[in-house]
Structure 1
């Protein structure tokens, strides 16, 4: 929108609307490769070619990982730029195709559906069904989770993925168009695949992880604002959601991630619940501190539903903001 003028504002709005209505239709992605799947395949190819953890030094591993990310971004930026210019030369039909491509990289509807699928079995007292559903959206070991652990994992995933699956892609789409959202999703996908601090990816995934942190720096804080101030009536019996900014900032900075603590902290404060905390990864207990430590910990399906209410209202406010930006750009 910023670089491509007022007419591109219409494309951004169409992308948001298309994703909200259709989400990620299974019938389409069963027949065509999803863009994120293509990004993942490209990352895997480069990782196999360039990552040699057994023989590489820390410096060599980081350089190889940086080169991989740079190659991906070069092709993503150039491809997105020229594809967008070519498509938009066809007028409205071209704008619609660009909007469809961009909408496939935003996850408003699919995120709601995935989290709703966790709440449904918990509401039927089906703990195993809840564990199975939440295992589709989190990386932690879900086999030992109790009802509160399943609900907490789902709400954390909702908060984090609202930031890096919706607000961040839309942010880069607004500022840099199709090449911006493509490059963001490339980095985000690379971080999820190789940005782990294990023996294989400790050095090779360094560049992807650091760049993902950088690209999410502003969107995470925008997500925090949307969640904290979206007008929706929520049950907060002890008033913890109205605690001081100093307490909130301490929570956000205590999180293991430089960005995830902001949307998680906002969600925790609005719902008066405790998020994060100890969890299992690959059978090993990781003792993480709680976000909003004084909040409610006995969580269930009702808490997930309240989180989804807040998420929907935040998405509505986000749409209004984009609409205002579009109107200003068209003047």
Structure 2
């Protein structure tokens, strides 16, 4: 049996080499179709708010149970194979599907390249692929800010949290986390349809991300010191601004990145034409430009490597 920390490293290596496969049979895509099917089946079109919350909670429970059972079932089958490492291979593959640092980096790099070429129209289009805000009127600074915020916040969702839950409970728990996060991205909206129906999915995601987000914040500070960014300011901004984020977890990723790069994240965004103000993260020591996207990507990768290294060292110390 291979050490879980080495399985995590192998999954990261696969992601680095292969990236996230764009196929309808990707487990996250399958999860998305399952969630959409159950939503169609369970959503009470004429139900009360209480009924919507109850049905949304049932959907959340079903998806979590199905995803965990599926992963556990695959491992059970793999353990029956005549090779000793069958379950380890399945664990590597499942965890590989749960993390997405390369896809996150590519999304940022694509926007960076378009901004450098001054193709603001294409940059806005690519920003629209990764955020829910209106993008038609974004200038270069706003487009770069959106990319940086996405890279920072999704370092939790797409990297550290799945690795954290893998360390706690193996691949099935990592898959369960990915299912919860996918539900939040599909149902966790505060609009008429999802305010109550998606509330449980959003709350579960918040709870699951609580510890990983705070770990990520600390790792971002460490990464800032290692890369020669302003680690002290990253720590100061993390302590000062993280709690101001509308998400209970998002600020713990965005604030230290803003501090490390000496930029200010947050501010005014538009959603469906409506103006929304989000608390600032950091101070505007300099205007946000495309180059700061690359800084956020470097920080994200360094955080990932730091986590894996610390996980490996702890596994050696505790013999796990």
TM-score (norm 2): 0.92
2:272 alignment counterpart: 282
Could you say which residue in structure 2 is the equivalent of 1:100?
Answer: 93
1:307-326 Cα shifts (integer Å, max 9, x gaps) = 22222222221221232244
Instruction: Provide structure 2 residue ranges, at least 5 long, that are not aligned to the other structure.
Output: none
User: Where does the alignment leave 5 or more consecutive residues of structure 1 unmatched?
Assistant: none
Q: Contact conserved, 2:166 with 2:173, CA < 8 A, in 1?
A: yes
1:80-107 deviation line (CA, Å, top 9, x unaligned): 2221132144322442233112201100
**Match of residue 267 from structure 1:** 257
Aligned residues: 317
Measure how far apart 1:233 and its partner are.
3.7
Moved over 6 A (4+): none
Computed over aligned residues only, the root mean square deviation of the Cα atoms, in angstroms, reads 2.1
- Equivalent residue for 2:75, pick from 80, 84, 92: 84
Q: TM-score, normalised by structure 1?
A: 0.89
Offset of residue 224 of structure 1? 0.4
Higher RCO structure (Cα 8 Å, ≥6 apart): 1
Q: CA deviation at 1:6?
A: 6.3
SS in 1 for 2:163: helix
Whether 1:226 and 2:219 are equivalent positions in the alignment is: yes
Deviates more, 1:121-130 or 1:39-48: 121-130
Is 1:11–1:99's contact at 8 Å kept on the other side of the alignment? yes
Task: State which drifts further: 105-114 or 308-317.
Answer: 308-317
2:9 paired with 1:52:
no
Deviations 1:268-302 (A, max 9, x none): 1111110011111112111222111x224621111
1:288 aligned counterpart, secondary structure:
strand
With over 3 angstroms needed to count, the CA separation of the structure-2 counterparts of 1:153 and 1:242, relative to structure 1, is closer
Aligned ranges 1:1-331 → 2 under 5 Å: 7-26=3-22, 29=23, 33-53=25-45, 55-90=46-81, 91-230=84-223, 231-234=225-228, 241=233, 244=236, 248-292=238-282, 294-296=283-285, 298-328=287-317, 330=319
Deviation at 1:261, TM superposition (A): 0.6
